[in-house]
Amino acid sequence: KWADGKMIKNEVDMQVLHLLGPKLEADLEKKFKVAKARLEETDRRTAKDVVENGETADQTLSLMEQLRGEALKFHKPGENYKTPGYVVTPHTMNLLKQHLEITGGQVRTRFPPEPNGILHIGHAKAINFNFGYAKANNGICFLRFDDTNPEKEEAKFFTAICDMVAWLGYTPYKVTYASDYFDQLYAWAVELIRRGLAYVCHQRGEELKGHNTLPSPWRDRPMEESLLLFEAMRKGKFSEGEATLRMKLVMEDGKMDPVAYRVKYTPHHRTGDKWCIYPTYDYTHCLCDSIEHITHSLCTKEFQARRSSYFWLCNALDVYCPVQWEYGRLNLHYAVVSKRKILQLVATGAVRDWDDPRLFTLTALRRRGFPPEAINNFCARVGVTVAQTTMEPHLLEACVRDVLNDTAPRAMAVLESLRVIITNFPAAKSLDIQVPNFPADETKGFHQVPFAPIVFIERTDFKEEPEPGFKRLAWGQPVGLRHTGYVIELQHVVKGPSGCVESLEVTCRRADAGEKPKAFIHWVSQPLMCEVRLYERLFQHKNPEDPTEVPGGFLSDLNLASLHVVDAALVDCSVALAKPFDKFQFERLGYFSVDPDSHQGKLVFNRTVTLKEDPGKV
């Protein structure tokens, strides 16, 4: 019921346009109105169930999207030819028969990241879709690194990608690399030339940009000449940019003769100096899918323009041709996920690194304390659509709260402390208080915290001159201390030379020995000192990359208050043995995760999310 009706209408209109195409003249003709038929009993019951079950408009829309995906079922393994747009050749049926003999009719997908950056929230959807679809159909999913550009690839990215896939709970059937197939890809490139379907070109990079480039003057060069030149490229006889191998086809977007190989004199992380020519994505992707007998090549929408080259190349070489399916990307408002732009943020000092908790890379979300189950749940709620999906960050946060509410044990912490002395403390020494790890389910255990004559409370939980509606500690207004069974009442305010309140003197009584207080507040006693990092949105506008919304560019849109560090926060001693990435709910404050910067002398906590949803904050 909180959904933006206009946004839903636009989404539905886009989906209908995608499915049915633009309206024809007949559609625009005025039609006579027909009286609305009464709802059938089953329809009324379905509508009633939706209301009674408390489904929001967001959930209903997600359900509709999932049903639409069910209506457009993928092909069965071996039935690629039933897919609209699939190109059938005289060799297709025999190749599909061989494919089924190898796979046994098993569904095969792959997640093929480029190892030149850290995965982000959009990749989480791709991981869930590829691994999830395979799992749901008793299939397998490969993790294949598209390592065809040694200039931008680093070992840390390979490791981080593997870590993130495992963190989300998925295990690849096999980890492969495009470089595993360099010999085969080269042999196929030679075969393309022999078939007259590829040629060596000397146009420079700037001449190949855009979609209306002039045909290459070398397009019709003799096959024998291209074979000699391609071999010369391999032997390092051309400088970078001096020669490329191009395929003879025109893609959907009008791009002509995409490049298959280019010269690069950068050592490869796996093959070293063996190669000085490297295949492009347009050439590599479909052939690696073919080699691994992928049944469903699931790609984001921007690769739709490459579908024709995908089918063309497999068929040109008479090899098994998988089916490419496209789906919409997942984006978030108030976020930048471009590798180039994140590097700019790091270079300018706006963020610390790829795992800065204000970013939406997966390593950043893990560091902030987002559980992998929450990210997977979010991807499931978003669903799979053809149109690009841009979500509000607080919808992701809601999934985080759902998981942490059931998994993060409670603790007490004070961010801005105020010292409180209990003048009539009921014992000669500190008491041990049993605090439930999960107050709603005490079967999950307890932890022990000390309760001594000196406690610390939040400074904001006391006011000398309270405004109307203030229910916490004030003159004549006692408060309860959570879990202790005691109520404290103000007796004296101690101020420093500047007039600032330094401490309070109070008396205490049993909570059942008098009138129930209006509020119970959290506290700590004999606490540990820790550092707490509080995060807000990194950007001020929804679309920081949109020049109409942010004319000065995304770097001009930074929120300078996106990080607030509390150096001397206090936390109860129950968390003393916490390890990096351990998660807690600090009562009344939010969910927090132990940061890897923690050391033996001091814990560091990142606020993951607040306790209540606030669309104005991340």
At 450 the pLDDT is: 97
Going by the DSSP 8-state scheme, the letter that residue 524 receives in this structure is: B
At 569 the pLDDT is: 98
* Homologous superfamily, domain 411-525: Ribosomal Protein L25; Chain P (2.40.240.10)
pLDDT tens digit string along 317-352?
A: 999 999 999 999 899 999 999 989 999 999 999 999
Q: Distance (Å, rounded) from C-alpha 590 to C-alpha 505? A: 28
At 307 the pLDDT is: 87
Closest CA to 328 of 388, 391, 390: 388
Instruction: For the beta carbon of residue 354, count every other beta carbon within 10 angstroms.
Output: 23
Active site residue 114: yes
Residue 25 confidence class, pLDDT cut points 50, 70, 90? very low
At 1 the pLDDT is: 57
Q: Distance (Å, rounded) from C-alpha 162 to C-alpha 171? A: 9
- Cα dist. 203→148, 220, 241, 277, 519 in Å? 21, 14, 8, 16, 76
The encoded tokens of residue 85 equal: 């747009």
Active-site residue, selected from the candidate residues 11, 55, 79, 114: 114
Torsion of Cα atoms, 123 then 125 then 130 then 131, to 10°: 100
At 58 the pLDDT is: 43
pLDDT tens digit string along 210-246?
A: 667 788 999 999 999 999 999 999 999 999 999 999 9
The encoded tokens of residue 179 equal: 């470089």
At 60 the pLDDT is: 35
Domain 339-407 has CATH 1.10.1160.10: yes
Active site residue 612: no
pLDDT tens digit string along 105-126?
A: 999 999 999 999 899 999 999 9
Residue 387 confidence class, pLDDT cut points 50, 70, 90? confident
pLDDT, mean of residues 380-387: 86
At 211 the pLDDT is: 63
Does residue 445 contact residue 584 with C-beta atoms inside 8 Å? no
At 389 the pLDDT is: 84
pLDDT, mean of residues 130-147: 95
Determine what percent of the chain is predicted with pLDDT higher than 90.
Answer: 78
pLDDT tens digit string along 578-615?
A: 999 999 999 999 999 999 999 888 999 999 999 986 54
Residue 375 confidence class, pLDDT cut points 50, 70, 90? very high
Residue 36 confidence class, pLDDT cut points 50, 70, 90? very low
Q: With 70 as the cut, is the pLDDT of residue 62 above it? A: no
Q: With 60 as the cut, is the pLDDT of residue 47 above it? A: no
Q: Reduce the DSSP state of residue 50 to 3 states and report it.
A: helix
* Mean pLDDT of the chain, nearest integer: 89
Active-site residue, selected from the candidate residues 329, 341, 419, 459: 329
Structure-model confidence comparison of residues 2 and 149, the more confident one: 149
Residue 253 confidence class, pLDDT cut points 50, 70, 90? low
Q: Domain residues of the chain, as ranges?
A: 339-407, 411-525
Q: Distance (Å, rounded) from C-alpha 389 to C-alpha 329? A: 6
The pairing of strands 174-177 and 140-145 is parallel
Q: Which amino acid is at 482?
A: R
- Cα dist. 395→2, 531, 592 in Å? 12, 28, 18
**Which of 189-193, 437-441, 613-617 is predicted least confidently?**
613-617
Residues 6+ apart with CB under 8 A from 272: none
Residue with tokens 């190109």: 87
Q: Distance (Å, rounded) from C-alpha 477 to C-alpha 521? A: 13
Q: With 50 as the cut, is the pLDDT of residue 169 above it? A: yes
Q: Which amino acid is at 230?
A: F
Query: Number of C-alpha atoms within 13 angstroms, CB side, residue 377?
Result: 16
Active-site residue, selected from the candidate residues 135, 221, 234, 339: 339
Active site residue 329: yes
**Which of 21-30, 135-144, 250-259, 428-437 is predicted least confidently?**
21-30
Q: Reduce the DSSP state of residue 488 to 3 states and report it.
A: strand
Q: Reduce the DSSP state of residue 77 to 3 states and report it.
A: coil
Q: With 80 as the cut, is the pLDDT of residue 74 above it? A: yes
